[in-house]
Amino acid sequence: METHTLRDFCQQLPKTELHAHLNGSISDHTLTKLMRRRHLGGQNMTSFEKGRSRTLDECFQAFKIIHKLTEDEESVKMVTGDVIKEFSQDGVKYLELRSTPREEEHTGMTRRSYVEAVLNAIRSPEISALDITVRLLLSIDRKNGAMVAMETVKLAQEYLLTSDDCVVGVDLSGNPKVGHWRDFYPALQVARNTGLKLSLHLAEIPGQDEETQALLELRPHRIGHGTFLKASRNGTSELVEHVRKLKIPLELCLTSNVKCQTVKTYHEHHFKFWFDQSHPCTFCTDDKGVFSTTLSEEYGIAATTFGLSPKQLWDISYNSIDFAFAQHDVKDKLRFTWNEHKHLILRK
C-alpha cells in the first residue's frame, strides 16, 4: 500500500485504544492552553518530537512536569475533554483512559475530586455527543506505596458501583524501577476479588522475573508492554508459557517502547514474537502527547515494519474489542459499528 493510502486507511479504521495514560496523552495544543492559564510562557518541554528518544527515567521526568500543570480539578476536567476529543478525531470509537487519582495539598484537590473531575468531563454534553465510548481505569502509581494503592482500589470499588459502568478497573503503572511488588499485591488482590478488571504493566524492564511471576498469579485481564517476558532468565519458557496458556492480551505501544529505549528498533519489537503465535495483541499509544504519536500512526508503523495487510490491521482492531473491559452490550454495539465500516474501508 502506498504511504498516503495506508495513512488514510489507518485513520479511517475504527479503533479501540486500551492503554492511554491521561496525563501522558495531553497534546502540545492543550499544554499550551494550560501554560497560558498559569501565565507561563516558553516552550513545552515534555513531548518528544518524531525520531527523538530519551531514557525511561527521562520519560518519568516529563510526567512530573505535566503534573505541575494539572494540579486542580478544572485543568483535569479540561485535559480529559481535550484528550477524548483528539482520540475521537483519530477514529477511536472505544477509549479506555487510565489515570492516577492525585492529591494536591496546595490546591485542595483530593483523589476523589480528581476522579470526579475526570468523570465530569466524560459525562459532559460535549463529550457525550461524540461517537466514542469512554471507560476509566484508576492507576496505582508504584511510587506512592501500599497505603495509597489500597486507597485507590477502594475508590475504584466505590466508582465501579456508582459510575454507571464508567470506572471498570485498576492499572498498575509508574516507574518500574521504583517500589516492590509486595507493596501493591494486597491492593491488587482486593481489586481482582471484587470484580475490578486488572491491567498490569509487567516486564517493562529486564530483570523483573520474580515480580512478573508473582503478579501473574493474580491472573491480570491484560498486560501492559510485557517487553521482557520472552527474555526472562529461563530463556523463553516459563513466563511466556504462562501468559500464552492464559491467553492474556498484551497492550503493545511501539513508539513508546522505542522512544524510551526499552526496545531498540521497531523491527525488534516483541509484537512480532507474539503475533506469529496468534497471541491476542492490541496496539496502543501509551502517552500520545509525550511520544508525539496517534493510534492511527501506530497502526501505520506496525503495517510498514511488519508487512501487515489491511485485512490483518482490521483483524487486530476488531479483535481488540474482545479485550475491552466494557460490558457485553457495549462490545456488541462496537462490533456492529466495526462491521458497518468494514465494507466501506476494506473494499477500497
139 lies in the binding site for ligand 5GP (CB under 6 A): yes
57/332 with CB nearer ligand 5GP: 57
| Residue 194 backbone phi and psi in degrees, to 5 | -115, 25
User: 240 vs 50, 216, 263, 270, 328, CA distance in Å?
Assistant: 32, 11, 18, 12, 29
114/314 with CB nearer ligand 5GP: 114
Instruction: Note if 71 is an active site residue.
Output: no
174 lies in the binding site for ligand 5GP (CB under 6 A): yes
Q: b/e map of 21-40 (b: 16 or more CB within 10 Å)?
A: bbbbbbbeebbebbeeeeee
Q: Which of 14, 24, 289, 310 binds ligand 5GP (CB under 6 A)?
A: 24
Contact predicate 79/30, CB 8 Å: yes
Shortest CB 281 distance to ligand 5GP, Å:
17
Q: What is the DSSP letter of 102?
A: -
Structural Rg of the chain based on CA atoms: 19
Q: Which of 14, 81, 91, 176 binds ligand 5GP (CB under 6 A)?
A: 176
73 lies in the binding site for ligand 5GP (CB under 6 A): no
Take residue 26 and report the three cell numbers written for it.
Answer: 495531553
| Residue 250 backbone phi and psi in degrees, to 5 | -105, 135
Q: Which of 204, 211, 251, 298 binds ligand 5GP (CB under 6 A)?
A: 204
14/176 with CB nearer ligand 5GP: 176
Shortest CB 95 distance to ligand 5GP, Å:
13
Q: Which residues bind ligand 5GP (CB under 6 A)?
A: 21-24, 63, 99-100, 139, 141, 173-174, 176, 201, 204, 256, 286-287
